[in-house]
Structure 1
Amino acid sequence: MTTAASPSVSPSAHPAPVAPSVHPAPVDAGLLGPLLDRLIRRHAVPGAQLAVTHRGVTSVVTAGEELFGGGQPVTPESRFPLGSLTKPFTATLLMTLVDEGEIEPDEPLGEQFPELAPVVGAFGSLLTLRHLLSHTGGLPGSHPAARPPADRARYVRDACAQGPLSPPGTAFSYSNIGPVAAGLVAELVLGMDWEEAVDSVLCRPLGLRPVFVTAPGAAAHHVSGHAAAPRLGTARPVAQLLPPVEAPSGGLALSAPDLLRFGTLFADAPVRPLAPLLPAPRITEGMRRVQPHTDAFGLADAWGLGPAHYLAAGGGTWVGHDGTGDGTSCHLRIEPREGTGVALTTNAGTGLALWDDLVAELGEAGFDVASHPFTRLRGEVPEAPDEVLERCLGTYRNGATEYRLVRDSEGVRLDQGGRPFARLAVRADLTFSVIELTTERTCYVGRFVESAGTGRIDRLQISGRLAVRSGRAA
């Protein structure tokens, strides 16, 4: 275990447009190391970093090793593949261009950039940067091809050709396509690759040392991901398989202290990083402000332009993001008014459940961190009766992804990609837990959505992704 502490500096003068928060009690830095060590053992996570800043003091603790059985301990400098926690970096890059007047966030992209008109196709007259950054563009969650094209413009064109899930600006559906499209816009404006833009515009001014996981030879410079087996207490290394074209959606590897440093951009109280990058109003009135129609059930409570919003049990709002790479799980939370922040990096997929347990145990110690649970549903709600389950059955689609719900002798089964994948534990309020068949663990949660006009169940939202019913009527 490694522990370090350092003071923050001067406060910002700009208040945040969020509800007053019930601020966490001071965290005992001496408890963080043992807590992290205990949790990685519980979830068979080979190694992790935890960075916490609160009331002027930043503490960093590490536990375990970079590679299971490899003997190389995790250090505060170890860099973990962030997965989707890359997305707020891409969003911040684009907002610097908005601040410089290079992009109008509410003007259709096909009209601002004529070269994008054939790329976004039918979306062109409506799709805006605001939609891309808030996941309200109606875009599918992923590219339709197992091996997507390497050219980013062709990638976005193919994805948009699948057609909208909903009209842009009317519903939230988490998508990897939006950040890739935003990365393409940044490349058009700046005349440089996304990787170079993120490094020069964000990382260098902030003093961050990123690894781009899709670069040749990158695996030698970042921590390995793992497929963990908690029952056996073992883990198998896995490679990062992200296609380079999708780097704006998941291509960064950083340490937890680096994540926390980036997160201070979204806070009022602590000193902003060495280079502010964006003026405070652009953060508070722009990126942090909750966007319309961003009910992100399964991921967060709402969404801004990049950062997600999480409601604290005692009141107030935190912002941040979560990310899963291949065999990694990373998390960032910032309470804007005081600048309290928490960043966790782990090198196993079970780090997602570790995060839920970390938040719960910190709360029991009086340090409440807002989060939207991935692996458990809130409240006590009875199971759905048979007549409700029957209304839920059928086929739902998100682009090329198909979710098929059937009844068998053991309940409701979810088939994905034409194969049995999980069981759904459906509750009377139409929320559900997704329990993997292979591991019997709850991997995420979701809900069914009724049509406002007919009461028919016509959509489901699973891990934040919207899928629209097709086939027989309910």
Structure 2
Amino acid sequence: MTQGIDVARLRSTMAALLAEYQIPSAALGVVADGEVTTVAVGDARLSPPRPATTETVYQCGSLTKTFTALAFMRLVDEGKVDLDRPVRTYLPDFAVADADTTARLTPRQLLNHTNGIEEAFGDPGEDTDVYRRMVDNIADAPQVQPLGHTHGYSAALGYAILARVMEVVEDKPWDAIMAERLFAPMGLTSTNTWREQVDPERAATGYILRSIEEGPIETPIDHLPRSYGPGGNITSTIGEVLTLARVILDGGTAPNGNRIVSATAVKEMMESRVPIPDPYMFGPYWGLGLITCDWDGHTVYAHDGSTIGQNARLRILPEQRLAIALLTNGGPRESFYKRLFNEILPEFGAPTVPELPQPDPDLVLDPSRYEGVYERPGARFEVRARDGGLGLTVFVDPEQAAFLGQPERITYPLLPVSPTHFLMPSDNPLEDTQTVAIHDFADGRARYLHTNCRLTPRTGDQ
């Protein structure tokens, strides 16, 4: 058990926060100088009640990307793939609508989300050849932004292309590669890539909160499509997520002594970085399967993940030889994880999670530089002058809005922090303040809107 943690007090704190945020359960893990503490509180399933334990299996969402990146770096170590050779080296038939991207796209640009390809892969099905189908389906996929121009998060497609490269190089399905080349050497016995591999008696049920009065309800979508596999479908326990963190903390070596990747590979994951237009949601840079955060001058590495009703948080603090992970079957709420982590971090002399910046009341902006429609498939935003400042209207999917009991258009004030960064506060008690970047000005008008790590281009005035 990790010295410095009062487990009884931690359980009490977790229980109080779970009740306040109406999250059914959480599993929290801390590793400090190789010593591990794991704690689970609440119910993995509400009806019939099933208490969460440290062996409960949660959906990791996009934290999957860190696992996939680690497996890919193992192939880099072995000389089977190169981060900077074109993807067409391994997939000769690879093509998208943009000829430059077709010719020059590299694995590095997939890992750090600078590929710019629209997620236009259609419905590739649920069979094990799904990643081959996804690559075949994007021959006409357009660019959201030019290759390498800026960071724009790819929820599924980028890591699916990486998975297809892995499949061709290893001549076996991605699921088998992950099990044989990563999970087994790391000693993971409860981590899987597909829901059918999970014991239902150990699996957490996801919950959504539509209103405080109603309380959490079971998610209507209990798993993501298989197309999200390399980017979002891994399930794991809190202890095994900490094993992932320990591989990174220990320069590529697992707790069982097996070397998973070289120390050089871990350094590459951390230090090969691209700037993030919105540095406030997570941090200022994105590496290879890791986000680089700045906590009051201390470098912290991170990745989060969400499915529809389950969430994962991982923070790695090399200076303190410390990592904290959190898995829940409700949320996500940034304020929940921050409050919980900030209860623990000071006990190890570690910096706490920074608060969002304050808006600058003296900053006077020209609304015409920002106003317009920003749109891509599945996302539409309108920025307009409002109440002497700016407002942002989010267009919500009609089916989602009906299920959540929300309007199809929600308008938020934009409070400027700088000429390109804004806070987007909400009057909904179930929402935390979000951050937005409106940036990359050409001819006096912003070209892109970046929020929740996603990049959306400006498409016009109406």
TM-score (norm 2): 0.85
Structure 2 partner of 1:194: 174
Alignment check: 8 A CA contact 1:327 1:347 kept: yes
Q: Which amino acid aligns with 1:71?
A: P
Alignment check: 8 A CA contact 2:96 2:138 kept: no
1:32-90 Cα offsets, whole Å, 9 max, x none, are: 22221121111100000110112342211111000124321110100110110101111
CA–CA distance in structure 2, aligned partners of residues 380 and 365 of structure 1: 31
Note the 1:57-96 alignment, pairs <5 A. Answer: 57-96=35-74
Q: Which amino acid aligns with 2:193?
A: F
Cα displacement (A) at 1:400? 5.4
Structure 2 partner of 1:183: 163
Cα 1:268/1:440, change in 2 over 3 Å:
closer
Cα displacement (A) at 1:156? 3.4
CA–CA distance in structure 2, aligned partners of residues 369 and 193 of structure 1: 41
Q: Which runs of 5+ in 2 are unaligned?
A: 399-407
CA–CA distance in structure 2, aligned partners of residues 283 and 216 of structure 1: 29
Structure 2 partner of 1:52: 30
CA–CA distance in structure 1, aligned partners of residues 356 and 2 of structure 2: 36
Moved more, 199-208 or 352-361: 352-361
Instruction: Look up the SS of the partner of 1:224 in the other structure.
Output: coil
**Equivalent residue for 2:145, pick from 148, 166, 177:** 166
Structure 1 partner of 2:227: 245
Instruction: Look up the SS of the partner of 2:358 in the other structure.
Output: coil
**Equivalent residue for 1:226, pick from 207, 216, 226:** 207
Structure 2 partner of 1:20: none
Alignment check: 8 A CA contact 2:24 2:329 kept: yes
Q: Which amino acid aligns with 1:262?
A: L
Q: Which runs of 5+ in 1 are unaligned?
A: 8-25
CA–CA distance in structure 2, aligned partners of residues 459 and 118 of structure 1: 21
Structure 1 partner of 2:183: 203
Instruction: Look up the SS of the partner of 1:278 in the other structure.
Output: coil
1:213-236 Cα offsets, whole Å, 9 max, x none, are: 443777554211100256337211
Alignment check: 8 A CA contact 1:396 1:402 kept: yes
Alignment check: 8 A CA contact 1:98 1:105 kept: yes
Structure 2 partner of 1:109: 87
Moved more, 413-422 or 80-89: 413-422
CA–CA distance in structure 1, aligned partners of residues 241 and 375 of structure 2: 34
Moved more, 302-311 or 233-242: 233-242
Moved more, 155-164 or 57-66: 155-164
Alignment check: 8 A CA contact 1:290 1:302 kept: no
Cα 1:105/1:269, change in 2 over 3 Å:
closer
Q: Which amino acid aligns with 1:377?
A: L
**Equivalent residue for 1:415, pick from 395, 415, 419:** 395
Alignment check: 8 A CA contact 1:45 1:350 kept: no
Alignment check: 8 A CA contact 1:322 1:331 kept: yes
CA–CA distance in structure 2, aligned partners of residues 293 and 160 of structure 1: 28
Note if 1:258 corresponds to 2:265: no
Note the 1:9-408 alignment, pairs <5 A. Answer: 26-117=4-95, 123-140=101-118, 142-143=119-120, 145=122, 147=123, 149-150=125-126, 151-159=130-138, 161-176=140-155, 177-208=157-188, 209-215=190-196, 221-229=202-210, 231-232=212-213, 234-238=215-219, 239-268=221-250, 272-274=254-256, 275-284=258-267, 286-295=268-277, 297=279, 298-313=281-296, 315-363=297-345, 367-368=349-350, 371=353, 377-382=356-361, 388-398=366-376, 401-406=379-384
Structure 2 partner of 1:23: none
Moved more, 327-336 or 78-87: 327-336
1:408-447 Cα offsets, whole Å, 9 max, x none, are: 7895422245841452433252433445687662363222
CA-atom RMSD in angstroms: 3.1
Cα 1:160/1:394, change in 2 over 3 Å:
farther
